[in-house]
Amino acid sequence: MKPIIIMCLISLFSFSISAQNSQRSSLGNSGSSIEITDSENTYYISQSIGQNSVTGTLINGDKVIRQGYQQPPTSVKVVADSNSDLEASVFPNPVDTFITVQFSEVLKNSINVVIYDISGKRILNTTENPIQSFNIDMSSFSSGVYLLTIVSGNKKYTAQLIKK
């Protein structure tokens, strides 16, 4: 009986040893990338911040598999339009419910108002009659950053809005 138990233990132990395999991995505290070229191929290896996985790429025909979590390089930057000749004040900013748009002059053309969310999706698109001041209801908007664009004739105004 003892030899059978010993044989079973040895076979289980040998299966567990052969089932283990070690792979190279990295733990990064910042992102990095490298391009490696051998005599025939060029490989591009990158890792994102905090990645803890095997790095590498498998290519089979036109299919490419990259292992690891990659954070795409995205940033949002609002740039003031230096050619903007429509002078306006938008307040309060940050806004709770309503913002007031007040122009330095009475406009002669209709006013097209567009508000975009941070991803560029158009949230509001409305047209106002020529007027010197009007309100926009933002009470149904989620908290976040928005881009306000106002066009009247050939004049344009752009502002960043923050919804509480």
What is the per-residue pLDDT across 96-129, written as a single tens digit (0 to 9) for each?
999 999 998 888 899 999 999 988 899 999 999 9
Q: List strand residue ranges (DSSP E) for 61-139, in order.
A: 63-67, 88-91, 98-103, 111-117, 122-128, 133-137
The CATH number that domain 88-163 falls under is 2.60.40.3080
18-29 pLDDT, tens digit per residue, is: 444 444 444 445
| Secondary structure element (H or E) that encloses residue 144, with its range | strand 144-152
Residues of the chain with CATH 2.60.40.3080: 88-163
Which residue do the tokens 């690891």 mark? 68
Residue (of 121, 118, 124) closest to 144 by Cα position: 118
> Helix %, strand %, coil % for the chain, to 5?
10, 45, 45
pLDDT of residue 105: 86
